[in-house]
Amino acid sequence: MLFFALINKLRMVMKCELCNSETLDISNYYQLSFHMLFKKLAYLLPEILLSLFKKNVFVKKILINKQYFNKKKVRCSSCDLGFVYPKFKTNDLNDYYKKQYWEYRDRFEGSHLVNITNEPQFSDAQISLGQKRIEFIEKYIHDFNSVIDFGSGDCSASYLFKRMNKEVTAFDYSEKSRELCKKLGIHFESDISMLGRNDLIYSSHSLEHVESLEDTLNIFLKDPISAKYLFFETPNIESIFIFNNLIHTPHTYMFNKRAFSQIAKKFNLKLLGFELCGGYWRGFKGHEKDSMSDIRVLLSK
């Protein structure tokens, strides 16, 4: 009874931050279902039991995820945006990434590279993926000369843009990304206030991690950056079945075509193109038709 009372209270005070709808579906971030049951059981085990195996890398990750993502996940019935509730405070989210995400990234980022001892040499698969994203962008626009690679990760996109003679700034919090950019001769920033005017924001699998969607988009669209174009690739949470049954950690937002359409409406942007990509969600046999795993979108002012 207490749980349902809490849910009803949340419904009374919550609105979708994107479309202001009060028609929201609320559930636990980690919840039990028969789909991918074995993986979910690990998240549903008591922490006192998991702590016995805390030296295990996988168990350590689960413990940290459970500590910070002990929240609700919400899906708006009007625009289909998914998000974590209550929202993270900046320090908490930064602390989470420092403990878990960046530690992993800094240990393993670049593991797919052919060589990182001298000049980084990217694998054919990673170059091909980056080229497909850029080809999608170039189906719609060519008048961009400067690019911010937001959440640059392995910096393969920054490398490709530099090879196209674009002015590139790689933005990331990973020290490994900084090292790669230094070797590649690419300008790197980890302080968002230091980013200046650029034509294109290129963001692959980063927007779902931000603390505030509205604040982030306003940073992109207003001075000093004032980007003309925004490219995003994110996981595609098109189906309510995928939303309910996927373990989303560490995503604070869950996107799909309808949500991006609402983003365009709210921020007075034009939708230049959509593309579903990335194959189908693994482990969701029988529901593949509901959702390809990734979505690409290009917007303009």
Is 171 in the same domain as 70?
Answer: no
The runs of H, that is alpha helices, within 23-142 are 37-44, 47-50, 57-68, 90-96, 102-108, 124-138
pLDDT the model gives residue 66: 83
My answer on whether 138 and 176 are in the same domain is: yes
Question: Confidence class of residue 106 from pLDDT cuts 50, 70 and 90?
Answer: low
Q: Is residue 158 part of a domain?
A: yes
**134-193 pLDDT, tens digit each:** 999 999 999 999 999 999 988 999 999 999 999 999 999 888 888 889 989 999 999 998
Domain identity same for 167 and 262:
yes
* 68 and 176 both lie in a single domain: no
Same domain, 63 and 140: no
Would 79 be classed as within a structural domain?
Answer: yes
**Do 80 and 186 belong to one domain?**
no
Residue 287 counted as domain residue: yes
Residue-level pLDDT at 290: 67
Residue 118 domain-assigned (yes or no): no
Between CA 180 and CA 6 the distance in angstroms is 47
Whether residue 117 is predicted with pLDDT greater than 60 in this model: the reply is: yes
* 285 part of a folded domain: yes
| Alpha-carbon 185 to chain mean position | 26
**Do 142 and 234 belong to one domain?**
yes
Q: What is the pLDDT of residues 50-88, one digit of tens each?
A: 888 878 878 888 888 888 888 899 999 999 999 999 989
Claim to verify: residue 160 and residue 257 sit in the same structural domain: yes
Return the pLDDT at 104: 63
Task: Give the whole-angstrom CA distance, residue 31 versus residue 41.
Answer: 9
- Cβ(18)–Cβ(79) below 8 Å: yes
What pLDDT does 113 receive? 61
> What gap in Å lies between CA 177 and CA 196, rounded to an integer?
20
- Please identify, among 108, 142, 170, the residue that sits at the C-terminal boundary of a domain: 108
173 belongs to a structural domain: yes
b/e 164-187 (16+ beta carbons within 10 angstroms → b): eebebbbbbbbebbbbbbeebebe
Identify the domain containing residue 193 by its residue range: 124-300
101-115, 192-206, 279-293: least confident range = 101-115
Tell me: do 174 and 240 sit in the same domain: yes
Of 1-10, 26-35, 140-149, 268-277, minimum mean pLDDT range: 1-10
Q: What CATH number corresponds to the domain at position 217? A: 3.40.50.150
| DSSP tag of 10 | H
- Supply the DSSP symbol for 85: E
Residue 136 in contact with residue 278, Cβ under 8 Å?
Answer: no
108, 133, 159 — which closes off a domain? 108
Residue 184 within any structural domain of the chain: yes
Residues 148 and 283 in one domain: yes
Q: Do the Cβ atoms of 149 and 168 come closer than 8 Å? A: yes
Continuous H helices in the chain = 2-13, 37-44, 47-50, 57-68, 90-96, 102-108, 124-138, 156-163, 175-184, 213-221, 240-245, 257-266
Structure tokens at 172: 């990331």
pLDDT exceeding 70 applies to what percent of the chain? Answer: 86
pLDDT for the residue numbered 72: 92
For residues 172 and 98, membership in a common domain is answered with no
Q: Which residue has the higher pLDDT, 101 or 87?
A: 87
The pLDDT value given to residue 81? 98
Q: Which of 80, 108, 136 is the last residue of a domain?
A: 108
Number of folded domains that form the chain: 2
pTM of the model as a whole: 0.88
DSSP 8: H
Residue whose pair of structure tokens reads 């039991």 in the numeric block: 49
Which of 27-41, 57-71, 154-168, 236-250 shows the lowest mean pLDDT across its residues? 27-41
Whether 108 and 55 have beta carbons less than 8 Å apart is answered as no
The verdict on residue 116 lying in a domain is no
CA dist 225 and 31 (Å) reads 40
Please indicate, yes or no, whether residues 131 and 171 belong to a single structural domain of this protein.
yes
The contacts of residue 51 (CB under 8 Å, 6+ apart) are 63
